[in-house]
Amino acid sequence: MIRNIKYKHSLGTLEHDDGITESEIRNAIPNFFKTKFGKRETFTFYRGFVICRHTVQFTGEKPKRRTVVYVYVPEFKDTLCVTSELGSIRQAKAYIDVILAYENLGYAPD
């Protein structure tokens, strides 16, 4: 299903297809998956979004497991980071469901 999602920055409205498949996303943006975000990296695809789970370690800090949600934007053949403040894939999927329910990226309630 194609939806128009409002985006809070200068892009205005994005056209989003929540039925796009993992292989379509991987074929469209192969460099995204070649870039290392951290250790123990995994990707989950959910309703046209990419959920990246990885471990990062910043100087002087303990390693931290992060869950980052990206929306795939076909018109730019790129992704936009939606949020990086989630603790699990389950939370990320629930957050994506809220975004799609409100068709509002960036202003979706927590």
User: 13-49: per-residue pLDDT in tens?
Assistant: 777 888 899 999 999 999 988 877 777 789 999 999 9
How far apart, in whole angstroms, are the C-alpha atoms of residue 8 and residue 104?
Answer: 8
CA distances, 14 to each of 11, 74, 87 (Å): 7, 9, 26
The domain locations on the chain are 2-105
* pLDDT tens-digit readout, 60-73: 888 888 899 998 88
Give pLDDT tens digits for 77-106: 888 888 878 889 999 999 999 888 887 776
pTM metric for this prediction: 0.82
- 22's CB contacts (< 8 A; 6+ apart) are 45
Q: Which residues contact 74 (CB under 8 A, 6 or more apart)?
A: 15, 17, 20, 28
